[in-house]
């Protein structure tokens, strides 16, 4: 019995890692730029469709499509940022919400027009399929891959933030934008790069998510709620917070569904509510 | 004064419009279903079925030209579906309404059909009670009760004794659970556990693990089309459930074409009960599938055949009434109509106006390198058992 619980928790951890990849970009851009980008999952969807197109139409291997998904989502996000988002940096939250949610609907319709409304299948390479037996546990190979991949990405992100000059500039801009500008830091270019990075990560997350949650045009809207929960609970602008929140939500979702299937999926909302009441700015967020 | 003039002008315009609709000998059919949103794909398939039938049989029946007016209900939106059905009858002059991919929408539109005494063809929504809500409605798809109760009885007959049920927590899922449980228990089986997963559930690991831990010799699953069937199939394989020892059974959506493509070999051995699969081996179906692929570059599914047979019903009913679009005449013509569909033989029950058809039991097998639902057993002339049990 214990082994089955551990197996379930392991899957919850993998699911949490997926949520982390999808959400970390939004947390940083929301914390740093104060720009409400509800179209964040659109970039996830773009990454997903890039992977599917490259694999099915051009026959690329799965792993090779991942960097392309990242880059494509990042590039498209830069285009959006330059043409649309930048005009609304000083606007009210409502205006930003309206623009970005409109963008979400447009992207869903475009995806449906170009790819049709069917579920996009992705056939993983054989070495990523099946499961392994570790101890008495049955662990899915793809989930192990997901966890390792996400941890590597997290490590890279944290290292970039802590040990590079650019990372220091980003941290400064998040902490106190005015002061950072005053010190001559090019906050605008830090914004642009961070935004691209965050959206690229979402694209990567979207590509990785296909095997677990499927891909269809409604992806951009369907996962927005989960991503927003992770960002809100984790605290804006904090990678550690997003990581903790994603873990918490992934595991409590799984555990809830295993032990209390009747209220299973309500548990994450309960967790979210209690956490936010205890810490309104998120676990590692700070009050601005 | 101006208001009265405007009102009179509108009234006159409406009269002219209505008159012109009749004068041209056109029969307008309002098709209300989801062309956008989460359920856009089923809607597209039903629409393809309609288009194919009209292409193959021409758009003139009994001297009248048929015109399809499409209205998008965008998903589960009973108030929108009701309003669109009303509008298409009152404003656009439709004398037949059809489509209705989702139960709440079909129920809301049934009111309109009953009030306006308009012939209504339900091409998809599968909840048993729907056809009782309007005496002018006929259904050409299936009912959850019919398919799943047949599966329950079949399971016991084929050696399954202890079952764990796992269904989606909304109407059709509850129906599936109740139907299978009834069929299975009445045959002598035992339900050792059950769970209902949230409608929008993404990850099924926990639910599947729980099912496995109860040590059943069969697991019954009800899942709607979309991304979930593939996720369930993968979860079953990942959790290491041995399909030779535990029969995994469900309604057809569990192994629909896209799900099998996503699941890969994890889907081998899944047993489903359903009324239609594009792999059905009959001459008529082979021709249907070939024509469908030629036009739409994909295989037909249960939605397509619901739309196709719905149009067949409309055409044949109009031929019988000689073009008379009166609701009473059309439904009288529809009752008892029997024909050979791509799915097999089917009939509209004269008493309940619901569909009577064959339920096929299929297993997922690899045929020529492709994963297909292969029929290996069937139960013929299945009527909806839920309505059959209601007090008359």
Domain at B145-274+359-389, CATH class: alpha beta
Cβ neighbour number for residue A75 with a 10 Å cutoff: 15
pLDDT of A178: 86
pLDDT of B23: 46
Indicate if the pLDDT at residue A287 is higher than 80. no
d(CA B388, CA A89): 63
Cβ neighbour number for residue A1 with a 10 Å cutoff: 6
Residues of B in contact with A255 (CB under 8 A): 206
pLDDT of B287: 95
Q: Which residue of A has its CA nearest to B298?
A: A118
From first to last of its 392 residues, what are the pLDDT tens digits of chain B? 778 877 777 676 666 655 544 445 899 999 999 998 778 888 999 999 999 999 999 999 989 999 999 999 988 899 999 999 999 999 999 999 999 998 899 999 999 999 999 999 999 998 889 999 999 999 999 999 999 999 999 999 999 999 999 999 888 899 999 999 999 999 999 999 999 998 878 888 889 989 999 999 999 999 988 788 988 998 898 888 889 899 999 999 999 988 898 888 889 999 999 999 999 999 999 999 999 999 999 999 999 999 999 999 999 999 999 989 999 999 999 999 999 999 999 999 999 999 999 999 999 999 998 999 999 999 999 999 988 888 76
Q: Which residue of A has its CA nearest to B38?
A: A218
Structure tokens at B312: 């067949």
* Interface residue A2 vs chain B (CB under 8 A): no
Q: Report whether B55 contacts B47 (CB < 8 A).
A: no
- Interval A91-134: pLDDT, tens: 888 999 999 999 999 999 899 889 877 778 787 887 887 778 87
B202 and A212 within 8 Å at the Cβ level: the answer is yes
* Interface residue A253 vs chain B (CB under 8 A): yes
Helix A40-58 with A224-234: angle, nearest 10 deg: 130
* Interface residue A110 vs chain B (CB under 8 A): no
d(CA B198, CA A285): 31
Residues of A in contact with B209 (CB under 8 A): 4, 7-8, 258
Q: Which of A14, A221, A265 to mutate to test the interface with B (most CBs of B within 10 A)?
A: A265
d(CA B376, CA B360): 8
Q: Report whether B297 contacts B48 (CB < 8 A).
A: no
Residue B197 backbone dihedrals phi, psi, to 5 degrees: -95, 150
Q: Name the pLDDT band for A1 (thresholds 50, 70, 90).
A: low
pLDDT of A286: 66
Structure tokens at B17: 């419009």
**Closest C-alpha to A117, from A126, A108, A127, A125:** A108
CA distance A118 to chain B (A): 6
Q: Name the pLDDT band for A288 (thresholds 50, 70, 90).
A: very low
Residues of B in contact with A116 (CB under 8 A): 41, 44
Residue B326 backbone dihedrals phi, psi, to 5 degrees: -65, 135
Q: Report whether B330 contacts B119 (CB < 8 A).
A: yes
Q: Give the list of residues 6+ apart from residue A90 with CB closer than 8 angstroms, or none.
A: none
Whose tokens are 């989930």? That residue is A143
Residues of B in contact with A118 (CB under 8 A): 41, 258, 298
**ipTM of this complex > 0.85?**
no
- Sign for the CA dihedral angle at A58, A61, A62, A68 comes to negative
Cβ neighbour number for residue A111 with a 10 Å cutoff: 23
Asked if the domains at B2-142+283-353 and B145-274+359-389 fall in one CATH topology, the answer is yes
Q: Which of B200, B230, B238 sits opposite A138 (nearest CB)?
A: B238
Cα end-to-end span (Å), chain B: 55
Residues of B in contact with A265 (CB under 8 A): 197-198, 200-201
In this structure, what is the dihedral angle of CA atoms B325, B326, B327, B333, given to the nearest 10 degrees?
Answer: -70
Domains of chain A: which residue ranges? Answer: 27-221
Instruction: State which fold the B2-142+283-353 domain adopts.
Output: Rossmann fold (3.40.50)
CA distance A254 to chain B (A): 6
A119 and B230 within 8 Å at the Cβ level: the answer is yes
Q: Name the pLDDT band for A194 (thresholds 50, 70, 90).
A: confident
The H or E element containing residue A141 is: helix A141-163
More confident residue, B148 or A257: B148
Indicate if the pLDDT at residue A165 is higher than 50. yes
**Closest C-alpha to B47, from B107, B103, B99, B104:** B99
CA distances to B117, B126, B381 from B311, in Å: 19, 17, 21
Helix B283-296 with B302-321: angle, nearest 10 deg: 110
Q: For the CA atoms of chain B, what is the radius of gyration?
A: 22
Q: For the CA atoms of chain A, what is the radius of gyration?
A: 19
Q: Name the pLDDT band for A27 (thresholds 50, 70, 90).
A: confident
pLDDT of A69: 94
Domains of chain B: which residue ranges? Answer: 2-142+283-353, 145-274+359-389
* Interface residue A11 vs chain B (CB under 8 A): yes
CA distances to A4, A134, A204, B98 from B202, in Å: 19, 25, 19, 32
* Interface residue B219 vs chain A (CB under 8 A): no
């Amino acid at each position: 019995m214990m082994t089955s619980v551990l197996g379930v928790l392991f899957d919850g951890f993998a699911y949490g890692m997926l949520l982390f990849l999808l959400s970390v970009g939004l947390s940083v851009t929301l914390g740093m730029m104060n720009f409400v980008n509800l179209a964040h999952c659109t970039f996830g969807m773009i990454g997903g469709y890039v992977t599917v197109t490259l694999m099915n139409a051009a026959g690329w291997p799965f792993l090779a499509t991942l960097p392309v998904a990242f880059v494509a989502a990042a590039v498209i996000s830069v285009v959006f940022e330059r043409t649309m988002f930048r005009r609304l940096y000083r606007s009210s939250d409502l205006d930003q919400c309206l623009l970005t949610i409109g963008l979400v609907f447009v992207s869903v319709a475009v995806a449906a027009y170009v790819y049709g409304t069917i579920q996009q299948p992705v056939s993983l390479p054989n070495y990523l399929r099946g499961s392994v037996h570790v101890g008495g546990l049955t662990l899915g190979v793809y989930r192990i891959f997901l966890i390792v991949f996400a941890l590597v990405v997290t490590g890279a992100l944290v290292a970039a933030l802590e040990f590079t000059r650019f990372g220091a500039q980003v941290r400064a801009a998040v902490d106190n934008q005015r002061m950072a500008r005053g010190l001559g830091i090019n906050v605008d270019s830090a914004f642009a790069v961070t935004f691209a990075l965050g959206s690229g990560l979402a694209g990567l997350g979207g590509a990785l998510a296909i095997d677990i949650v499927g891909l269809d045009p409604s992806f951009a809207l369907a996962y927005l709620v989960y991503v927003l929960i992770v960002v809100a609970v984790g605290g804006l602008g904090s990678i550690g917070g997003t990581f903790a929140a994603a873990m918490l939500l992934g595991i409590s979702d799984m555990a809830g569904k295993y032990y209390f299937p009747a209220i299973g999926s309500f548990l994450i909302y309960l967790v979210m509510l209690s956490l936010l009441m205890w810490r309104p700015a998120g676990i590692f967020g700070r009050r601005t | 004064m101006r208001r009265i003039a405007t009102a009179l002008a509108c009234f006159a315009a409406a009269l002219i419009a209505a008159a012109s609709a009749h004068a041209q000998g056109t029969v307008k059919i309002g098709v209300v279903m989801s062309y956008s949103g989460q359920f856009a794909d089923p809607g597209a398939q039903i629409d393809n079925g309609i288009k194919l039938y009209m292409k193959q049989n021409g758009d003139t029946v009994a001297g009248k030209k048929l015109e399809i007016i499409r209205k998008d209900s965008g998903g589960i939106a009973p108030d929108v579906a009701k309003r669109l059905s009303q509008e298409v009858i009152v404003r656009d002059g439709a004398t037949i309404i059809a489509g209705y991919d989702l139960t709440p929408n079909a129920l809301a539109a049934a009111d309109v059909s009953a009030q306006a005494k308009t012939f209504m063809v339900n091409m998809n929504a599968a909840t048993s009670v729907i056809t009782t809500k309007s005496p002018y409605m006929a259904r050409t798809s299936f009912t959850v009760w019919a398919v799943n109760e047949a599966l329950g009885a079949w399971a016991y007959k084929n050696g399954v004794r202890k079952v764990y049920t796992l269904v989606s927590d909304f109407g059709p899922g509850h129906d599936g659970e109740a139907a299978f449980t009834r069929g299975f228990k009445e045959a002598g089986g035992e339900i050792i556990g059950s769970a209902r997963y949230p409608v929008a559930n993404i990850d099924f690991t926990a639910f599947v693990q729980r099912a496995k831990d109860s040590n059943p010799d069969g697991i019954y699953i009800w899942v709607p089309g979309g991304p979930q069937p593939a996720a369930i199939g993968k979860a079953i394989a990942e959790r290491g459930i041995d399909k030779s020892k535990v029969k995994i059974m469900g309604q057809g959506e569990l192994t629909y074409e896209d799900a099998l493509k996503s699941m890969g070999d994890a889907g081998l051995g899944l047993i489903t009960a359903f009324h239609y699969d594009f792999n059905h081996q009959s001459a008529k179906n082979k021709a249907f599938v070939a024509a469908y692929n030629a036009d739409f570059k994909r295989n037909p599914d249960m939605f397509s055949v619901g739309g196709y047979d719905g149009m067949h019903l409309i055409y044949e009913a109009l031929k019988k009434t000689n073009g008379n679009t009166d609701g009473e005449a059309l439904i009288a013509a529809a009752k008892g109509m029997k024909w050979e569909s791509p799915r097999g033989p089917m009939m509209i029950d004269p008493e309940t106006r619901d569909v009577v058809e064959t339920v096929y039991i299929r297993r997922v097998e690899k045929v020529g390198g492709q994963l297909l639902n292969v029929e290996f057993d069937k139960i013929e002339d299945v009527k909806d058992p839920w309505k059959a049990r209601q007090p008359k």
